[in-house]
Structure 1
Amino acid sequence: MVSRRSFLTAAGATATAAALSPFSPLSPFTRGATAAGVSLPVSLENNSGSDTVYAYISGSDSSGWPVFVSADGTVNRLPNPSSTVTPIADYSIPLGASGSAATKVTLTDYVIGGRVWFSVGQKIQFFVNPGSPPGLVQPGFVSSDPNWQTHWTFCEFTYNSANLYANISYVDMVTLPVSMASTGSAGNQSVSPLPNGALASIASGLKSQHASDGAPWDQLVATDSSGAVLRVLAPSHSPVDFGGYWDDYLDQVWSHYAGTTLTVNGQGSIGSYSGTVQGDAIVFSGLNDDGVPFTKPSAADIFGCASGPLYNSGPDARGAVAARLAAALNRSTLLVSGGNNQPDGVTPAQYYQNATTNHYARLVHQYASIGYAFPYDDVGPTGAAPVDGHLQDPAPTSWTIALGSGAGGGTTGGGGGETTSAYSTIQAESYAAQSGTGTETCSDSGGGSDVGWISAGDWLKYASVDFGSSSPNQFTARLASGAGSGVSGAIQVRLDSTTGTKIAEIDFANNGGWQSWQTVPANIVAPATGVHDVYLVFAGSSSDFVNVNWFAFTH
């Protein structure tokens, strides 16, 4: 499992990108997919409520040189300055009034390790440091930064010959909401913004947590001159050191595993490693720790997931174990039932239950439906649905990014109070959001499209499905599979999130071909009434195992 952590280094430092971010997975589409061409229409929407909004598109070209894209689509390489912290030219793209037509920009070259930025009321100040290549200095997370009182936000992306990959992340902070939508060979995709009121709720929750335990959670809340919340920082950017916040918990963990074996599944091809505390370190049998033993980490090590004993040495066994220990510590799952088997022995319901935990991450997941809250937030039980908010297409035809909600003029579906009857035939390709899947022409009766390229961890969301006042008795889906021998998986029906209440499940394997359609029923195992977002969550095989044409519920 490869972490999809932030594409760029912490803002405020010099940052350049490689030809492809190691945290941006290549396209999973292998059956007939075509590569992205070097022309991508981008629509920038202002749905913020403010009439003064600026956008920026930054990143690196294929050589790793930092660039900004102008409003006319020109890719501008930054000059190499003769002195440090030199202001760059103004590459802002002014947007229209809130709710007005989108501002169009066409990318005519690839942009790697990029960001689309928005600011409200005033422009962002960017700087560059000398070097070969020079380093872009981005807005930082300290009060001395010239952009501190500017209300700004961003999403991340890479657009290269393999795909467009874009995501929303809360690894650094929570601030203004951004939403996205795309079209292309992977179908219509969208990523929902931070819900209304979530920023204020997270800020309030952190202040309450400070009042409860005395830790500096309140210092993560940044306000403007009027006292309004500008952003909530991740604890890795805290202006106040958390000191020994984790010490008591770590003492308990080290004491427990002095006599209990801890097994960490590196997942993928890494395999599992087991060990116990020996002296002051957890020693895993057969694991080369690259000279960095797993001693007790500091608060900065835990929150940042990139230093001290949690240093990730790369795509090797030590790195995989370090990532899973970092996730277990942030979620405080090493002492819960099943915590000696990481990450497979613990369910998401057990995360953040200890009084000592990453309360920023806890609150982000409480109020935001998608988005990573720390660098290895993708670590989870094998087959679990991801929690990030991303879209990916090997041949995109359009990409829309909005400050606020409604990217793509309604492509998210289910908006405006509209609902879909649970007892109608719901076409699989009519999803409001998805992760990891693609659409293709369907040969089933009625034609149209089906959703394929489905494997464990993928999901489909259908917004505002109305079950009425009485629960259905049965779920029915139209499925096909040409999966290889021994490849199978489960289609789980969940309410309101990828980890929400499971109301039905179908296990499925090869039934004769990817267009060999079969109607498969399943009993409802938990009641569903009223209006819910319905998620089809796929578990089991890491290989493609099913295509879906439509589904429905019946009494």
Structure 2
Amino acid sequence: MLARLKRQLLAAAGASALLGALLTLATPSPASGAVPATIPLKLTNNSGRADAVYVYNLGTNLATGQQGWADASGTFHAWPAGGNPPTPAPDASIPGPAAGQSTTIRIPKFSSRIYFSYGQKLVFRLTTGGLVQPAVQNPSDPNRNILFNWSEYTLNDSGLWLNSTQVDMFSAPYAVGVQRADGSVANTGHLKSGGYNAVFNGLRGQSGGWGGLIQTRPDGTVLRALSPAYGLETGALPASVLDDYINRVWQKYATTTLTVTPFADQPGTRYYGRVSGGVMNFTNSSGATVTSFQKPDASSVFGCHRLLDAPNDLVRGPISRTLCAGFNRSTLLTNPNQPDTSSAGFYKDAVTNHYARLIHAQMADGKAYAFAFDDVGHHESLVHDGNPQQAYLTLDPFS
């Protein structure tokens, strides 16, 4: 739940619409003084690339609610007023480490994206509503031909949540980590050897238009693969890409009950879904209808929004995120008890989220944020600690 609410905060700051939610800003723990105002973030460049690296720490100041950026010392700077049309943002870039080198910056209590780019600074602008984030699904976006990626973190009085993400795109490889008070380090996000190219090759070889998600520079350099939600938006994927699976799910639960147990620590809280008149109605244990869903389309499934909207409540949101995970992982036909948390059965149907399938298959630990609710069942690439000593962001090799 923590990673998704953070992305909602970023969306409010002008981030792309598909960022899900990572943090309900947690109530500070009794030991809230244990987390200092800033912690070190060690950036290591193992990419093997000779390009200069530029780093940005952009987000929301959790003490004031202001949007802005942090410099290398962890000092917060609020964005100035923007305009319409958007005006250039101040240069918030931090020089990153050269190939084979490391550098350490400080990160403050923030709900943030940490961007990094190779060879060229990113272009940021400000509207009257806040920062305009890169939107490379738009061919006219000024960052379209820049090789870049980003991580996400929230640091507050309760600790650090730091994740890698492919919710919007799969691009320059990296991993994240945290050092705990006992000196141990947890990390996630590393690809298997050869995994970067294997994801792109897998998309190219997947019928149905999936190779159209790949964006290249005019010189042929591969930059990224867009998420399937953006693939629908750009026309790379047909709007009907999931129709067969969605129709089969709706047919099955017209005569079968789908049982959703959305909270692992509350096994007695269950909801029961049946399709009637084209609508899936969920009832509680008393038989009262608690929420209903129209049959979703591919955009709703890939984006976990629209017809699968997930408000931050205790009923519809948890049911919706469970449905979203089941559709993306294609487990709703094989298991009427959801969520299905065993990855052994994920992505087995011919109609599935092949983007997410390929990314998870190439992760060293199998974990990724390939869609907004990929943390259902704890399959997300997230590190967390309540008393972080140091954070890590490692730029990994492309080969």
* TM-score between both structures, scaled by the size of structure 1: 0.63
Does the 8 A contact of 1:221 with 1:231 survive in 2? yes
Q: What is the CA–CA distance in structure 2 between the aligned matches of 1:42 and 1:347, rounded to whole Å?
A: 33
1:95 match: 96
- Cα gap change, 1:221 to 1:13, in 2 (>3 Å): farther
2:175 match: 179
Q: What amino acid does structure 2 have at the position aligned with 1:223? A: T
Q: What is the CA–CA distance in structure 1 between the aligned matches of 2:210 and 2:9, rounded to whole Å?
A: 20
1:378 match: 375
Tell me if 1:399 matches 2:391: yes
Computing the radius of gyration over CA atoms, which structure comes out larger, 1 or 2? Answer: 1
1:100-111 equivalent positions in 2, closer than 5 A: 100=101, 102-107=102-107, 109-111=108-110
1:145 match: 141
Q: Counterpart of 1:157 in 2: which secondary structure? A: strand
| Cα deviation, residue 13, structure 1 | 8.3
Q: Which has the higher contact order (CA 8 A, sep 6+)?
A: 2
2:351 match: 356
Q: Which runs of 5+ in 2 are unaligned?
A: none
| Cα deviation, residue 157, structure 1 | 0.5
| Cα deviation, residue 188, structure 1 | 2.4
| Cα deviation, residue 333, structure 1 | 1.5
Please list the CA deviations of residues 163-191 of structure 1 after superposition, one character each: whole Å capped at 9, or x if unmatched.
12111122111111112333243642232
1:233 match: 226
Does the 8 A contact of 2:45 with 2:98 survive in 1? yes
Does the 8 A contact of 1:361 with 1:373 survive in 2? yes
1:44-55 equivalent positions in 2, closer than 5 A: 44-51=43-50, 52-55=52-55
Q: What is the CA–CA distance in structure 2 between the aligned matches of 1:295 and 1:353, rounded to whole Å?
A: 25
Q: What is the CA–CA distance in structure 1 between the aligned matches of 2:94 and 2:2, rounded to whole Å?
A: 32
Q: What is the CA–CA distance in structure 2 between the aligned matches of 1:45 and 1:262, rounded to whole Å?
A: 46
Q: What is the CA–CA distance in structure 2 between the aligned matches of 1:30 and 1:74, rounded to whole Å?
A: 24
Does the 8 A contact of 2:178 with 2:186 survive in 1? yes
Q: What is the CA–CA distance in structure 2 between the aligned matches of 1:333 and 1:128, rounded to whole Å?
A: 42
Please list the CA deviations of residues 334-357 of structure 1 after superposition, one character each: whole Å capped at 9, or x if unmatched.
222xx211125x732221111111
| Cα deviation, residue 8, structure 1 | 2.7
| Cα deviation, residue 301, structure 1 | 0.3
- Cα gap change, 1:148 to 1:9, in 2 (>3 Å): farther
Q: What is the CA–CA distance in structure 1 between the aligned matches of 2:370 and 2:194, rounded to whole Å?
A: 18
Q: What is the CA–CA distance in structure 2 between the aligned matches of 1:59 and 1:10, rounded to whole Å?
A: 8
Q: What is the CA–CA distance in structure 2 between the aligned matches of 1:272 and 1:10, rounded to whole Å?
A: 29
1:220 match: 213
Please list the CA deviations of residues 408-453 of structure 1 after superposition, one character each: whole Å capped at 9, or x if unmatched.
xxxxxxxxxxxxxxxxxxxxxxxxxxxxxxxxxxxxxxxxxxxxxx
2:316 match: 318
Q: What is the CA–CA distance in structure 2 between the aligned matches of 1:82 and 1:24, rounded to whole Å?
A: 29
Q: What amino acid does structure 2 have at the position aligned with 1:361? A: A
Over the aligned positions, Cα root-mean-square deviation in angstroms equals: 2.8
Does the 8 A contact of 1:43 with 1:399 survive in 2? yes
Please list the CA deviations of residues 446-477 of structure 1 after superposition, one character each: whole Å capped at 9, or x if unmatched.
xxxxxxxxxxxxxxxxxxxxxxxxxxxxxxxx
Which stretch shifts more, 32-41 or 293-302?
A: 32-41
Q: What is the CA–CA distance in structure 1 between the aligned matches of 2:192 and 2:66, rounded to whole Å?
A: 36
Please list the CA deviations of residues 6-50 of structure 1 after superposition, one character each: whole Å capped at 9, or x if unmatched.
73359998537xxxx962377899897863011322222222222
Please list the CA deviations of residues 212-231 of structure 1 after superposition, one character each: whole Å capped at 9, or x if unmatched.
xxx22111111122223211
Does the 8 A contact of 1:172 with 1:237 survive in 2? yes
2:296 match: 297
1:265 match: 261
2:360 match: 365
Q: What amino acid does structure 2 have at the position aligned with 1:58? A: L
Q: What amino acid does structure 1 have at the position aligned with 2:349? A: N
Q: What is the CA–CA distance in structure 1 between the aligned matches of 2:156 and 2:255, rounded to whole Å?
A: 50
Q: What is the CA–CA distance in structure 1 between the aligned matches of 2:126 and 2:223, rounded to whole Å?
A: 25
Q: Counterpart of 2:331 in 1: which secondary structure? A: coil
Does the 8 A contact of 1:11 with 1:138 survive in 2? no
Q: Counterpart of 1:363 in 2: which secondary structure? A: helix
2:59 match: 59
Q: What amino acid does structure 1 have at the position aligned with 2:224? A: R
Q: What is the CA–CA distance in structure 2 between the aligned matches of 1:29 and 1:8, rounded to whole Å?
A: 20
* TM-score between both structures, scaled by the size of structure 2: 0.86
| Cα deviation, residue 252, structure 1 | 2.0
Q: What amino acid does structure 2 have at the position aligned with 1:374? A: F
Which stretch shifts more, 249-258 or 183-192?
A: 183-192
- Cα gap change, 1:312 to 1:220, in 2 (>3 Å): same
1:4 match: 3
Q: What is the CA–CA distance in structure 2 between the aligned matches of 1:179 and 1:304, rounded to whole Å?
A: 24
Q: What is the CA–CA distance in structure 2 between the aligned matches of 1:82 and 1:352, rounded to whole Å?
A: 45
Does the 8 A contact of 1:199 with 1:231 survive in 2? no
1:136 match: 131
1:163 match: 159
1:551 match: none
- Cα gap change, 1:81 to 1:34, in 2 (>3 Å): closer
Q: What is the CA–CA distance in structure 2 between the aligned matches of 1:364 and 1:39, rounded to whole Å?
A: 32
| Cα deviation, residue 305, structure 1 | 0.5
Q: What is the CA–CA distance in structure 1 between the aligned matches of 2:289 and 2:389, rounded to whole Å?
A: 45
- Cα gap change, 1:6 to 1:156, in 2 (>3 Å): farther
Tell me if 1:194 matches 2:191: yes
Q: What amino acid does structure 1 have at the position aligned with 2:165? A: S
Q: What amino acid does structure 1 have at the position aligned with 2:360? A: H
Please list the CA deviations of residues 101-145 of structure 1 after superposition, one character each: whole Å capped at 9, or x if unmatched.
x223234x422x2111111111111111113xxx11111132221
Q: What amino acid does structure 2 have at the position aligned with 1:266? A: P
| Cα deviation, residue 90, structure 1 | 1.1
Q: Counterpart of 1:4 in 2: which secondary structure? A: helix
Q: Counterpart of 1:166 in 2: which secondary structure? A: strand
Does the 8 A contact of 1:174 with 1:231 survive in 2? yes
Does the 8 A contact of 1:44 with 1:55 survive in 2? no
Q: What is the CA–CA distance in structure 2 between the aligned matches of 1:65 and 1:254, rounded to whole Å?
A: 44
Q: Counterpart of 1:248 in 2: which secondary structure? A: helix
- Cα gap change, 1:13 to 1:398, in 2 (>3 Å): closer
| Cα deviation, residue 83, structure 1 | 3.0
1:387-466 equivalent positions in 2, closer than 5 A: 387-404=379-396
Q: Counterpart of 2:112 in 1: which secondary structure? A: strand
- Cα gap change, 1:95 to 1:297, in 2 (>3 Å): same
- Cα gap change, 1:365 to 1:167, in 2 (>3 Å): same
Percent identity of paired positions between Structure 1 and Structure 2: 34
Which stretch shifts more, 25-34 or 172-181?
A: 25-34
Pick the structure with more helix per residue: 2
- Cα gap change, 1:29 to 1:3, in 2 (>3 Å): closer
Given candidates 237, 246, 251, the residue that maps to 1:250 is 246
2:75 match: 74
Q: What amino acid does structure 1 have at the position aligned with 2:372? A: P
